[in-house]
Amino acid sequence: MFISGTPAANQSTWMLIRAVGIATLAAVMGACTPETDPSLPPEPDRFAALETDAKIMSHRWIVPEGVDLNAPELQVARGYIESENNYDRTADPSTLYPGFNDVAHVQKSPPTPRTGTITHHILQTESTTHLGRPATEIHACNVYMQTAKPTATGWTRMETSFDTSLRIQQTDSAPDAPLALDYNHRLPYPTWNVFDGWQVERFTDKRMDDDAPWRICTSHMPGYNRDTPITEQLTAAPVVEPFYPGWPTVVEDDE
């Protein structure tokens, strides 16, 4: 293209042509950009099953003075025990917390529906060594007195309490830096892999004294009423109490 006229006029004309060209190119590129097809189903929500389950069963934790439920080892123990309980009730792998299958595998079995609140008591935490490496042994008592199973005629409370002993160790692939977490905003479940960099092993506590954690859990749990019948018909479903302490949320990079 040949443009005649003064240099100033020529420059203005070229700037106009350039602006029109850029606008035209942007329009063409925009027309070629694929848009999300509204007819396609949305991406599945990874935590939808946990969100639904949280309305049916909650987990509350009680610890001795000086024990921090937000310590990494305690988060691992909590995630392990809550995941097992979720799966036992639902038989749905989606109710397992992220990363659980990397440290353990649940046995496939029919679900045992239950609603209410499970109260978990941390009875003892102990720093020790296992196979020459540092480890933390955590003993917990899981009390089901505030839960019940649905029946054709109502609700039946059947279980009392069960003990769990876990040995927790860091692996060689532990992350270099801890994940940034917001402890002021919590959910009923973790959205990150609490097991990343950890190894979890169930073990049997073989101590036989009266203060052994398993004996406290099964025989004289604080607040446990031995006169309560093992099987009891309830007139209504137990209350699903608020989760405590719940799970902190991940701090996003753009925050």
Q: What is the pLDDT of residue 161?
A: 84
Q: What is the pLDDT of residue 179?
A: 85
Domain boundaries, the chain: 64-241
Residue 8 DSSP SS3: helix
Whether 206 has a pLDDT exceeding 70, the answer reads: yes
Whether 70 has a pLDDT exceeding 90, the answer reads: yes
The burial class, CB within 10 Å (0-12 / 13-18 / 19+), for 193 is: middle
Mean pLDDT of 161-177: 87
Q: What is the DSSP string of 21-70?
A: HHHHHHHHHHHHSPPP-TTSPPPP-TTHHHHHHTTTEEEEEE--TT--TT
Question: Which residues are within 8 A (CB) of 199 and not within 5 positions of it... i.e. 6 or more apart?
Answer: 103, 168, 169, 170, 171
Q: What is the pLDDT of residue 10?
A: 46
Mean pLDDT of 162-168: 95
Mean pLDDT of 25-34: 44
Question: Of the given ranges (4-8, 116-120, 161-165, 192-196), which has the lowest mean pLDDT?
Answer: 4-8
* DSSP H/E element including 168: strand 161-170
